[in-house]
Amino acid sequence: MIQDDYRAAIDIGTTKVCAILARKRQDHRVELLGIGVAPNKGVVRGTVNDPEAVSQAVREAVTRAASESGVAISRAYIGLTGTQLESAHRWNNVPRDPGVRAVTETDLSAALRTASRLELNADRRLLHVIPRSYSLDGIHGVRNPLGMHSSELHIESVVLTGSNDHIFAIQDAVRKGGVEPMNMVVEPLSTADAVLTSDEREDGVVLIDVGGGTTDISVFYQGSIIHTAAVPVGGHHFTNDLSIAFSVEFEDAERLKVEKGTCAPEAASMKEQVTIKPVNMPDPLTITRREVGQVLRDRAQELFRMVLLRMDSEHLRELPLERIVFTGGGSKLQGFEQLARFMFQRKIRQGAPRGLDGLPEVNRDPAYAAAVGITLWGYRNLPHESHVTGSRKSAAQREFAGSDEKHRKISSITGWIPGRK
């Protein structure tokens, strides 16, 4: 019998589409029921350029996840990524009745609504409003003011917006792939749920997700996200550099990168040789692994310099951001972490997805962090709902829907439920 709280998530990347179906157990753990992956050739640098190809990839990935789980997927959370995302800091005064009184849930809901009221260009859409802290009568940095007394209340928040054209293109492609898109989830926010520790979020960390066409950057401090950015460079650019440098087909360059690639050419022996087939030569050519590494190192250094420029923001300069966590399939190159340590002069580690019970070992890979993160973030931050065909709401969920209707209305816009950390 189909249970109630089934959730699906779809990560639409430059190289692949990954679909996940999960279920929350009675012990509140989230378990994987099915995962499907399909190659995607419809996205370039994070932008949809072939909607039909994206729809086909979505259809294949969802079909595989549904087949593995034995449950038909009808709806899903959809991840958003890339340079079309923007973040901004806001301080807002929350209107309240005169006099000193305790801060209530109603005040917190009003604070979120106030932070959500912003003028956007016609081509932008509000995606998430993330409360960072509150100020009570001039006392700053209050994280949970519920029950505290004050006459004035201000909210500090991070607002995440996206391009309407990009969102419409993604939603349309997903619908044509046979799935109704539900909440659009910003991946730089949700991926953190799959790879970061609570200490990292609290103390300060930069999460860098190296995808196929873009690299997403998100900064966390004192438990919440404070900055997002993206650079238009990803794993495909590494492959393309090899394709151009050695005049080989893109598929051959990708295989060369995966099998022989390194960002530390100095560690490769000149005796390590590789045979390639240039497209403009009749005979195979022998090159060294060190030559391959020199091409990849140059691209990695460029990527790191671009990330450093995105991190050179006034509100980040004084923060103790001593940790960087890399994730995404593009971060798996040999020597990538060592080069990053030299370039950033910070503590570096690679983040693989966790927190989803039953995830096969082959999928406990940085390339699947985004899809796992979307799933976990949806469970932790969005109202109860089922994403499978034929599900029935329980009495408890009907009661939740009635008592928390006002929170549903807010979270459907912002992706945040008042009172949640």
pLDDT tens figures, 198-241: 999 999 999 999 998 899 999 999 998 999 999 999 999 999 99
Number of domains in the chain: 2
Domain-embedded: residue 120: yes
Reply yes or no on whether the pLDDT at 119 is more than 90: no
Task: Please list, residue by residue across 25-38, b when 16 or more beta carbons sit within 10 angstroms of its beta carbon and e when fewer do.
Answer: eeeeebebbbbbbb
Last residue of some domain: 114, 136, 163?
Answer: 163
pLDDT digits (tens, 9 = 90+) for 123-160: 899 998 989 899 999 899 898 999 999 999 999 999 99
pLDDT of residue 9: 97
Domain-embedded: residue 342: no
pLDDT of residue 4: 66
Domain-embedded: residue 273: yes
Structure tokens at 136: 């009570």
pLDDT of residue 268: 86
Q: What mean pLDDT comes out for the span 411-418? A: 37
pLDDT digits (tens, 9 = 90+) for 20-41: 999 998 888 999 999 999 999 9
Q: What mean pLDDT comes out for the span 311-315? A: 84
Q: Quote the pTM value.
A: 0.85
Compute the distance between CA of residue 48 and CA of residue 44 in angstroms, rounded to an integer: 6
Compute the distance between CA of residue 330 and CA of residue 347 in angstroms, rounded to an integer: 19
Query: Which residues, in sequence order, are CB contacts of 293 under 8 Å at separation 6+?
Result: 261, 262, 263, 264, 265, 266, 267, 268, 335
Tell me the Cα Rg of the chain.
23
Phi then psi for residue 188, to 5 deg, are -60, -25
pLDDT of residue 264: 93
- Strands (DSSP E) found in 267-413: 273-276, 285-288, 323-327, 347-350
Domain-embedded: residue 155: yes
Compute the distance between CA of residue 326 and CA of residue 339 in angstroms, rounded to an integer: 12
Q: Tell me the pLDDT of the chain averaged across its residues.
A: 88
Domain-embedded: residue 10: no
Contact 80, 170 (CB under 8 A): yes
Domain-embedded: residue 97: yes
CA distances from 383 to 112, 189, 406, 412 (A): 17, 18, 11, 9
Looking at residue 288, which CATH number applies to its domain?
A: 3.30.420.40
Reply yes or no on whether the pLDDT at 271 is more than 70: yes
Compute the distance between CA of residue 46 and CA of residue 2 in angstroms, rounded to an integer: 35
Most confident of 18-22, 187-191, 403-407: 18-22
pLDDT of residue 2: 47
Contact 9, 194 (CB under 8 A): no
In percent, the amount of the chain with pLDDT more than 70 equals 91
Helix-helix angle 289-311:235-246, to 10 degrees: 140
Q: State the Cα angle at 38 between 370 and 337, rounded to 5°.
A: 40
pLDDT of residue 185: 93
pLDDT of residue 400: 33
pLDDT digits (tens, 9 = 90+) for 329-364: 999 999 999 999 999 999 999 999 999 999 999 999
pLDDT of residue 343: 95
How many other CB atoms sit within 10 Å of the CB of residue 264? Answer: 19
Last residue of some domain: 147, 163, 179?
Answer: 163
Domain-embedded: residue 219: no
Contact 173, 179 (CB under 8 A): no
Looking at residue 133, which CATH number applies to its domain?
A: 3.30.1490.110
Reply yes or no on whether the pLDDT at 54 is more than 70: yes
Last residue of some domain: 163, 180, 199?
Answer: 163
Which domain covers residue 240, as residue numbers?
A: 235-299
pLDDT of residue 89: 86
Domain-embedded: residue 405: no
Q: State the Cα angle at 231 between 228 and 232, rounded to 5°.
A: 140
Compute the distance between CA of residue 35 and CA of residue 360 in angstroms, rounded to an integer: 9
